[in-house]
């Protein structure tokens, strides 16, 4: 029984790693990768339960400990990610300006194939964003546009984004950010404008695939806003 538990946990670990790895290197799309992760979590949990039952039955907790500890740690990672994203709306286009969102230009040639349209997703998305991410607002900096642009460019670089284009005269920065596990590439555009006696910085982040993003784009924008405000 304990041997079966160990086999289930190992099989679950393989599936948990195989799902995102296969998606990242292009063996399959996320529509396969995500279910593989879900299956891996179920198999791992089955191994944990079998190990727990086997430990009670045999009282050999030393042997059962491997499946219990390793299995619980492995399952905790996807569960924690899901819990962190609980309540996120089914949208994947987030902007600090939903009335006049920054537009992609340099990134347009990269948004080819089976990806979501580059155009803003519209009023329904804006309404869901306001309801779920009411804290996401433009950044107002007491600085000249050139200085605000430099601060924005530095913040994007500090966050590890890949800068695709930067045009200070137009006040536009475009970049991509790749997610850690599945290697999803999300697109970002930053716009810097003079507004009154300050500079207004708007940022928009949009996924290339999927319908929802589990809050990833909102977290990305919050990280940028925090970095710029700290500069």
At 206 the three-state DSSP class reads: strand
Separation between Cα atoms, residue 148 and residue 231, nearest integer Å: 10
**SS3 state at 121:** coil
- Dihedral angle sign, alpha carbons of residues 51, 53, 56, 59: negative
CATH second-level architecture of 93-230? 2-Layer Sandwich (3.30)
pTM of the model: 0.84
Instruction: Give the CA distances from residue 141 to residues 94, 182, 205, 220, in Å, rounded to whole numbers and listed in that order.
Output: 21, 35, 20, 19
Distant-in-sequence, close-in-space partners of 27: CB < 8 Å, separation ≥ 6 = none
Q: Please tell me what DSSP assigns to residue 143.
A: S
What is the total residue count of the chain? Answer: 231
**Rounded-to-integer distance, Cα 122 and Cα 125, Å:** 6
CA-CA-CA-CA torsion sign (66, 38, 29, 183): negative
- What is the residue extent of each domain of the chain? 2-84, 93-230
Euclidean distance between CA atoms 114 and 12, whole angstroms? 30
Instruction: Show pLDDT as tens, one digit a residue, over the chain (231 residues).
Output: 778 888 899 999 999 999 988 988 888 888 899 899 999 999 999 999 998 888 888 777 777 888 888 899 888 887 887 777 777 899 999 999 999 999 999 999 999 888 999 999 999 999 999 999 999 999 999 999 999 999 999 999 999 999 999 999 999 999 999 988 888 899 999 999 999 999 999 999 999 998 889 899 999 999 999 999 997
Q: What was the pLDDT predicted at 43?
A: 94
In angstroms, the first-to-last Cα distance of the chain is 57
């Amino acid at each position: 029984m304990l041997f079966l538990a160990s086999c289930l946990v190992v099989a679950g670990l393989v599936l948990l790693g195989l799902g995102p790895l296969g998606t990242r290197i292009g063996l399959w799309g996320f529509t396969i990768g995500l279910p593989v992760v879900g299956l891996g979590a179920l198999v791992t949990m089955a191994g944990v339960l079998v190990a727990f039952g086997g430990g009670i039955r045999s009282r050999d907790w030393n042997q059962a400990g491997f499946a219990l500890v390793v299995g619980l740690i492995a399952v905790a990672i996807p569960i924690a990610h899901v819990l962190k994203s609980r309540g996120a709306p089914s949208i994947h286009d987030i902007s600090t300006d939903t009335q006049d969102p920054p537009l992609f230009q340099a990134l347009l040639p990269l948004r080819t194939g089976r990806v979501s349209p580059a155009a803003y997703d519209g009023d329904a998305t804006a309404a869901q964003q306001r309801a779920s991410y009411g804290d996401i607002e433009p950044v107002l900096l007491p600085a000249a546009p050139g200085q605000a642009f430099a601060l924005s460019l530095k913040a994007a670089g500090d966050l590890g984004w890949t800068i695709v284009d930067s045009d200070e005269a137009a006040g536009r920065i475009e970049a991509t950010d790749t997610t850690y596990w599945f290697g999803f590439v999300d697109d970002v555009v930053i716009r810097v404008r003079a507004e009154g006696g300050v500079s207004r910085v708007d940022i928009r982040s949009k996924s290339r695939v999927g319908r929802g993003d589990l809050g990833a784009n909102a977290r990305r924008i919050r990280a940028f806003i925090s970095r710029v405000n700290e500069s």
